[in-house]
Structures are given as C-alpha cells and as structure tokens.
C-alpha cells in the first residue's frame, strides 16, 4: 500500500495525541434520529475515529455518549465506508473513558429485595 492510499483510508491527519481503545457508543443526529452503534478505535481530547454499523455521512453534527466522559457533540469531518472521523465541539479528557466502570460498592445501599433475602437467612 502506498502512502497516498494509506492516508486516504485514514482520513486527514491530526496533531494531538490519541489513545487506541475499544469502546462502544451509540450515535444520534442533533435532531434525535438514531444513527446506529459505533466502536471507538482512537480517542483524543479533540476527536475520535470509529467503525460504524452503518454508513454515517460526512458533514453532519451528531451526539454520542462516551463512558466516563458523558454526552459529547461533534461533527463528522470524514467518512470512508464504515469508518468516520469526528471533531468534538469541546475538548474532553480521553483518559476518563479508560477508567473502569465500578460495580456496586459496599458503601452503597442494597436494593430492598437483596436486603430482604439476607435477613431471612
């Protein structure tokens, strides 16, 4: 593969550092229309690259929920088949998306059903 072809498949180059990861999210238009799920492959403070389950057109504004970060608005700046590049409207902390999702901690109250089962023993 030559360098021109490789650059064409990846989309435009970015200058900021980015993290490679595997994170699932759902995309929706700013009007609320679902655009399908996406696998986030690269994440930086200013944008991300993702594989989508269906084509998403370049140039549209979208919302996505990123684990550990929250709801983020961005614009699809390039699309190549099922891959897209998104520029965020605001900078995020990409390391927040890497933090593990914690399970129910011992300090959180249990549901009434769990507590009732424990009392009956």
Q: What is the pLDDT along the chain (121 residues), one digit of tens a residue?
A: 433 443 444 455 555 665 667 899 999 999 999 999 999 999 999 999 999 999 999 999 999 999 999 999 999 999 999 999 999 999 999 999 888 766 544 444 444 444 444 444 4
Q: Give the C-alpha separation, 34 to 26, whole Å.
A: 8
54 burial (CB, 10 Å; 0-12 / 13-18 / 19+) is: exposed
pLDDT of residue 99: 82
Whole-Å CA distances, 19 to 7, 40, 48, 50, 58: 19, 10, 9, 12, 23
* DSSP 8-state code for residue 16: S
pLDDT of residue 22: 80
Can you give the pTM of this predicted structure? 0.69
Give how far the C-alpha of residue 32 lies from the chain's centroid of Cα atoms, to the nearest Å: 17
């Amino acid at each position: 593969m030559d360098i021109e072809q490789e650059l064409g498949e990846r989309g435009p180059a970015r200058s900021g550092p980015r993290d490679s990861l595997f994170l699932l999210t759902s995309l929706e238009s700013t009007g609320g229309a679902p655009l399908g799920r996406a696998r986030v492959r690269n994440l930086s403070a200013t944008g991300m690259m993702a594989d989508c389950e269906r084509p998403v057109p370049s140039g549209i504004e979208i919302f996505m929920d990123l684990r550990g970060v929250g709801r983020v608005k961005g614009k699809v700046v390039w699309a190549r088949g099922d891959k897209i590049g998104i520029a965020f409207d605001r900078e995020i902390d990409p390391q927040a998306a890497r933090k593990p999702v914690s399970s129910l901690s011992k300090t959180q109250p249990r549901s009434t059903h769990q507590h009732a089962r424990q009392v009956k023993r």
